[in-house]
Each structure stands twice: as C-alpha cells, then as structure tokens.
Amino acid sequence: MKIDRPVRSERATPPVDEPGKDKQTKADKTRARLIQVAKRLIQEDGSDRVTLRRIAAGAKMEAGSIYYHFDSRDEIIRAVLESGVGDARKAVMQAIDEAGPASSPLDRLRAALRAHLAYTLQEHFSSRLKAIRRLPKRLRDHHMKQEREYAAIFADLLAEAHKKGLLRSGFNLSVVRMLTMGALTWVAEWYSPDGPLSPDDVADELMRLLAGGLIKPGAGPMK
C-alpha cells in the first residue's frame, strides 16, 4: 500500500533561532524521536527490516507524517548513522581532552580507543555499519565523508606518535588505523559484560598488541 506523501509547507520548516538561544522546536523533537525509533529497530532487527510504517508505529504517528521530516526511509537511515558518528566523535574528543594536551599521543590514543569501544558497546554501533552499503550512492557518499572525518582523529594521533619517534618504522599507518578501529568496532559482536574483561581491558589489550607486537622477532615466518 502506498503511503501518501504530504506537501511540505513553509510552516513545516523550523524557525531560525535567535543567536545565543538554544531552542528545540516541536519538529526538532519529532525528528529526534524518529531517529531514536529507527536506531532501536536497526539494533533489534537490522536495517533491511526497518520500514516507514514500523518507524511510524514506534513513534506513535501516521506513516505519511514522516515526510514532513524526512524525504525517504533511506534519509532516516542516514540520519541514524550520522547521529551515531557524531555522538561517537563527541565521546572520543571528550576522552582526548580529559587525557590533556600535555599527555603522550599514545596516552591520548589509548583514551580515544577506550571511548570508541565504550560507545560501540553501548550503542551496538557495528549493527549500523551493515546498513551503509545498502544506502543509495548519494547518501552513502555523504555519510562516508563524516566517517573519514571521524577516522582522522585516530590518524592524527598515530601521525603525531610517529613524528615523535614513538612508533616503529615500516608500518602503513592507514592500515594500522583501519585494523585497530575495525577490531574494536566488531567487539560488540562477541563481547559479554558478564565476562572477565571490562571494555577498558579489551582496549588496553589491543594497545599492548600495538605497543609490543604479538610475535617475537625471528619467531615467525615473516622476514
């Protein structure tokens, strides 16, 4: 059954707030509620089973009314992904700030990785990553730009550590960064809060691997 798409009016556009005032309109609150419902549905069932009707039902509103806030289901999925990256960025930057500018870039990297893992476990963010490839190219490209900006936080910390002579030479830092973040993002698929390790323990274990390497020099087949 086709969902009628209402025509947006001038009144549907949120008013511009006066400088210095932090106001949230009714439309802002409704949009946030839709994003929250869609996020929960993605976490529970995966993005493929998320429909406009299910989102509307979860938000307790008519399905057609969603079009006042989003142009399509894919727009909502993108908003979920973007809110996730935005919130992860805030958590990571806060952890880096708390480590302090005078700290070693490796200490700040540890803090950033801990924050990344904590957010991933809290939000089960890995489940949303599976939705990215299913977005239309226009929306996927827009989201991937935000992902690259987030990844640059970790890339910059590795680059700073390398510049200060804290890293071994010969490694591709882009690959190291992607392997590191990918490993931590995927922890949500196997981690149990009832297990012996805390999220910080897991992040620290990865830092130990990065710091010393797992295989002793000369013990493996690699030259």
pLDDT, tens digit (0-9, with 9 covering 90-100), for 26-62: 888 989 899 889 888 877 776 777 888 999 898 898 8
Residue 100 carries which DSSP code? -
pTM listed for this prediction? 0.73
Q: Using CA atoms, how far apart are residues 80 and 41, in angstroms rounded to an integer?
A: 11
Q: With the CA atoms of 161, 93, 177 and 80 taken in that order, what torsion angle do they form, in degrees rounded to the nearest 10?
A: -170
Contact 34, 69 (CB under 8 A): yes
Give the tens place of pLDDT for each residue, 99-154: 998 999 999 999 999 999 999 888 765 555 556 666 667 767 777 888 899 999 99
* Of 206, 198, 190, 82, nearest in space to 154 by CA: 206
Q: How many CB atoms lie within 10 A of CB 193?
A: 8
Q: Using CA atoms, how far apart are residues 90 and 112, in angstroms rounded to an integer?
A: 11
Give the tens place of pLDDT for each residue, 140-193: 777 788 889 999 999 999 999 999 999 988 899 999 999 999 899 889 888 888
